[in-house]
Structure 1
Amino acid sequence: MHRLKDLWKKILIFFLFFIFLIILQIRNPEIRGPFRGILGNILNPLVYYSYKVYDGISSLFDNYIYLVNTKKENEALKQRLMALNIQNRILNEKLHEYEQLKKILRFKDNYQVEFLAASVVGKHIDGYSKYIFINVGQADGALINDSVANEMGLIGKIVDVVKNRSKVLLITDPNNKVSVMNLRTRTTGIMSGDGSGGLVVEFYDKLDKVYKGDIFVTSGLGGLYIKGLAVGKVYAYSNNPSDIFQRVYLKPLVNFNSIENLVVIKSKND
C-alpha cells in the first residue's frame, strides 16, 4: 500500500513537471526542448482548425453587419426615391397648370375678349342634368349667362351665381340650347346635349351635305355665345326622307371628365 502511494506521488510529480515544461515552452518559444516538436504536432492542427472556425464565424458576422447596413441604405434610398417622385409629380402638375394658363392666354388673344380665370370646384356630370361649380362669383364680376370655355372650346354658361361661386350648365345638358354652325359649310342649327354625354344638332338644313369629322362651332346668333368657339366633331347623322330637317350627332371636343382650369367670358356690354 505504501509503495502504491509512492508510485502515485511520482506519477503526479512527473505529470506536473511535464505540464510545467509544456507551459514553459509555450510562454518562451525561444527555448528549445524535446517537447516542442511533440507539442507543435498536437497543437498545430487544433490551432489551425480553431482559426478556420473563428475565421468562418468572423466572416459570417461581417457579412451580417454588411447586410444590415445595406438594408438600412436601401431603405434610406427608397425613402429618398419616394420623396423625389412626389417632388416630380408636384413639378409636373405645376408645369401642367402653366401650360394650361398659356393656352388660356392664347385663347384671350385669339378672341379678343375679357375673361375671368377660374377653376372647377365641383361636378355633376353623371345624371341627366350636367353642370359644374367654379370658384368665381359675383365678387369677381361673374354674371348669369356668361359663357365658360377652355382652350378646347365651349363648356357651358353660368346659370346661378353667388358671392364666390358659380354654377355652370354644360353644353352636354339637354336643356342647354346653343346656336352652332358647320365650320366647313357655314350651315347653322340648334345644338343640345343628347342625355348621354354627347351632342345633337337639330333644325339642320336637310340639303346640306355633312361628313364625319366635320367640326361645329358657335354661330354667334342670339348674342349669348361669341362666334367661333368649337363645340364638337361629327360622328354620325340622320337624314330620313320623311323628315323636314336632318339631325347631326357630335362628340364634344372638351373632355368634361378632366376639366380643371377654364375661363368665364365677359360680354362687351357687361
Structure 2
Amino acid sequence: MARRSYDYATPVRRVLVALLVLSLLAVFVFWRIDSPRAERMRAAFVDRFVPSLDWAMAPVTAASRMVSGFQSYRRLYAQNQELRRELQRMTAWKEAAVQLEQENAKLLAQNNVRLDPALTSVSGVVLTDSGTAFRQSVLLNRGARDGILDGWATMDGLGLVGRISGVGETTSRVMLLTDPSSRLPVTIQPSGQKALLTGDNTALPYLDFMESPENVRPGDRVITSGDGGLFPPGLLVGQAVQTSDRRMRVRLAADYGRLEFLRVLRSHPAEQIADSGLLIRPPEPGLIGPSLPAAPVPAPAQSAGAQAD
C-alpha cells in the first residue's frame, strides 16, 4: 500500500494568511497612532510608494473617462434628436410657405374666401418598421386615446408618407405609399393632370390612368387632388420622374430611409346635405315622359225630330 505524501500546502497557506492579517492589523494600528514621528513616517511612506501607483490607477482613470464620455454622448444624442424635431418643424413650415405662396397668387383677386382652419396635426414617433415583401407599413406611438382615426394622412417634415390603416389603443399602423395596395388620387402640376399613384413595393410608385401622358414632364410637382375625400388636397407627394421602362413614376418627397417622426393630419369629413328640397324641388309624382295629347270631346247627339226632317 502506497504511503500518502505529507500535505505542505495547507500549513503554508495558513501561515501566509496569518502573516497577511497581522501585517494589515499592524498597518491599521500604525496609521491610527497620533504621534509626530508616526506622522513623519506615514508622510515618507506616502511620498515613496503612492506616486509609483499610477499604473494601478490607470484602469480607474480610464473608466471614469469612459463614463464622462458616455454622459457627453447622451447629451449630444438628446441635442441631435431635438435638432431633428426642429428641422422637421422648419421643413414643414417651408412647405406650408410654398403652398401659401401659390395660393396667394390665386386669392389676390378674390374676397371673403374662407379657408379651413381645422386642419391640425398630431406628432408621433415611429416605433418599428413592420414592412415585409408584400406589405409596406410602420407603427406609430399614437392611437385611439390620442384621437387617431383610420384613414388620416401622415407626413414627415416635408412630404406625404401614407395613411392610417389600423388603430389600436396606444399605437396605429401607417400604410406607406409604396405598399402594393396603396391607391392615391393625385394632381400633376403645372399641367393639372389627374392621375392615380399606385404602389408596387419599390421606392418609386408609378402614375396610372393619366388623361394626357404627353403633357407630363419629369420634374413636375405631384400633390394630392383630394378626390374621394380621403386626403386633403394640396399635400406634397413628390416629383415626377421617368424610369428606364419609359413609365412615369414619382420620387417621393418623404425621406423613407429615416422615418423617425410623423405628423398625422386630422381630416374632417365634408358636410352632408340632409335636406335637398331647399335646393332643388323634387318632381311631382306621375308618369315619366312627355304628356299625352288631350282626348277629343265627342259631338252632342242630335234629337229624334231633327233626324226625322
Deviations 1:65-122 (A, max 9, x none): 6777788767655553443233222222222223324545677897841222222122
Of structures 1 and 2, the larger Rg is shown by 1
Q: 1:225 aligns with which of 202, 220, 231?
A: 231
The residue number in structure 1 matching 2:72 is: 84
Change (3 A) 1:66 1:145: closer
Equivalent AA in structure 2 for residue 119 of structure 1 = V
TM-score relative to the length of structure 1: 0.63
Q: Indicate the percent of aligned positions where both proteins have the same amino acid.
A: 22
Are the counterparts in 2 of residues 238 and 248 from structure 1 also a CA contact under 8 Å? no
Q: Secondary structure of 1:208's partner?
A: helix
Tell me, in whole angstroms, the C-alpha distance in 1 between the residues paired with 2:216 and 2:94: 30
The residue number in structure 2 matching 1:157 is: 163
Equivalent AA in structure 2 for residue 262 of structure 1 = L
Alpha-carbon RMSD across the aligned residues, in angstroms, is: 3.1
Tell me, in whole angstroms, the C-alpha distance in 2 between the residues paired with 1:70 and 1:154: 54
Q: Secondary structure of 2:182's partner?
A: coil
Change (3 A) 1:84 1:248: same
Change (3 A) 1:72 1:144: closer
- Distance apart, 1:175 and its partner CA: 0.8
The residue number in structure 1 matching 2:215 is: 209
Q: Does 1:98 align with 2:77?
A: no
Deviations 1:208-240 (A, max 9, x none): 333222221111111111111111222216898
Tell me, in whole angstroms, the C-alpha distance in 2 between the residues paired with 1:88 and 1:220: 42
Q: 1:174 aligns with which of 171, 180, 194?
A: 180
Tell me, in whole angstroms, the C-alpha distance in 2 between the residues paired with 1:132 and 1:62: 59
- Distance apart, 1:190 and its partner CA: 0.5
Tell me, in whole angstroms, the C-alpha distance in 2 between the residues paired with 1:108 and 1:164: 29
Change (3 A) 1:66 1:136: closer
Change (3 A) 1:234 1:107: closer
Tell me, in whole angstroms, the C-alpha distance in 1 between the residues paired with 2:70 and 2:172: 38
Give the unaligned 5+ runs of structure 2.
1-48, 101-116, 271-309
The residue number in structure 2 matching 1:266 is: 266
Equivalent AA in structure 1 for residue 76 of structure 2 = N
The residue number in structure 2 matching 1:57 is: none
Q: Secondary structure of 1:178's partner?
A: strand
Q: Does 1:252 align with 2:240?
A: no
Tell me, in whole angstroms, the C-alpha distance in 2 between the residues paired with 1:102 and 1:115: 15
Tell me, in whole angstroms, the C-alpha distance in 2 between the residues paired with 1:136 and 1:67: 53
TM-score relative to the length of structure 2: 0.56
Change (3 A) 1:126 1:214: farther
- Distance apart, 1:150 and its partner CA: 2.1
Where do 1:47-66 residues align within 5 Å? none
- Distance apart, 1:169 and its partner CA: 1.2
Q: 1:131 aligns with which of 122, 126, 137?
A: 137
Q: Secondary structure of 1:204's partner?
A: coil
Change (3 A) 1:195 1:75: closer
Are the counterparts in 1 of residues 161 and 177 from structure 2 also a CA contact under 8 Å? yes
Q: Secondary structure of 1:152's partner?
A: coil
Q: 2:206 aligns with which of 166, 191, 200?
A: 200
- Distance apart, 1:197 and its partner CA: 2.7
The residue number in structure 1 matching 2:305 is: none
Give the unaligned 5+ runs of structure 1.
1-60, 241-246
Change (3 A) 1:202 1:69: same
Change (3 A) 1:207 1:82: closer
- Distance apart, 1:124 and its partner CA: 2.3
